């Protein structure tokens, strides 16, 4: 089973501000949908709440310390380990070999040691924010592909798509 992180990160490591993305890059949102569709997605409670609804076509797995938290059309887990295990079962049920970890900052930090792939969108901006992506140990990761894009009329910043694989 492949555990993958999918994330958009500003040049200053910011990934969010007040439970929202501090930029608009529509191409990245389309890429997110394509890469996660049909796969289990693991996320923290704040990320789930910020989405406003479960992601369609995907098994939504929410990690929270709140034992009373209930989420419509989502599975709830009280530990990262259980969430990943649940993701693996759901992936097998769907006939896929990848579990997608979609945030937020604490979930990324907790899962980084076990992931083998990162779909990383580098946002060429430095917005203010309150959630960060953890530092990557470059000696553990190989860049498989990297492509830079200019902002379209629908985007607030230029961006680069980077695909990392664990060495």
Question: E strands along 11-116, which residues?
Answer: 14-16, 41-44, 60-63, 75-77, 98-103
Q: Cβ(42)–Cβ(61) under 8 Å?
A: yes
Calculate mean pLDDT across residues 127-133. 97
Mean pLDDT of 31-55: 96
The count of structural domains within the chain is 1
**Residue 138 sits in which domain range?**
2-166
pLDDT value of residue 102: 98
Query: How far is 20 from 16, CA to CA, in rounded Å?
Result: 5
Q: Do 32 and 163 contact (CB within 8 A), yes or no?
A: no
Query: What does the pLDDT average to over 157-163?
Result: 98
Q: In this predicted structure, what is the pLDDT of residue 118?
A: 98
What share of the chain in percent tops pLDDT 90?
Answer: 97
User: 72 pLDDT band (50/70/90 cuts)?
Assistant: confident
pLDDT for 148: 98
Under the banding of pLDDT at 50, 70 and 90, the label for residue 166 is very high
Least confident of 40-44, 71-75, 103-107: 71-75
- 48-60: average pLDDT: 96
CB 84 within 8 A of CB 99: yes
Residue bearing tokens 């990383």: 120
CATH number at residue 97: 3.40.430.10
Mean pLDDT of the chain: 97
CA-based radius of gyration for the chain: 15
Residue-wise pLDDT tens digits, 75-119: 999 999 999 999 999 999 999 999 999 999 999 999 999 999 999
| Percent of the chain residues topping a pLDDT of 70 | 100
Q: Cα–Cα distance between 27 and 48 in angstroms, integer?
A: 21
């Amino acid at each position: 089973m492949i555990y993958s992180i999918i994330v958009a990160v500003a040049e200053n490591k910011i990934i969010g501000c007040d439970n929202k993305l501090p930029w608009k890059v529509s191409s990245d949102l389309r890429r997110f949908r394509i890469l996660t569709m049909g796969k289990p997605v693991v996320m923290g409670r704040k990320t789930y709440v910020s989405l406003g609804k479960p992601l369609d076509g995907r098994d939504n797995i929410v990690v929270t310390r709140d034992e009373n938290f209930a989420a419509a059309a989502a599975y709830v887990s009280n530990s990262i380990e259980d969430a990943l295990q649940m993701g693996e079962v759901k992936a097998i049920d769907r006939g896929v070999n990848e579990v997608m970890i979609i945030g937020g900052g604490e979930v990324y930090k907790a899962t980084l040691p076990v992931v083998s792939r990162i779909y990383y969108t580098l946002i060429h901006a430095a917005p203010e924010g309150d959630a960060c992506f953890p530092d990557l140990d470059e000696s553990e990761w190989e860049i498989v592909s990297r492509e830079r894009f200019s902002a379209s009329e629908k985007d607030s910043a230029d961006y680069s798509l980077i695909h990392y694989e664990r060495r």
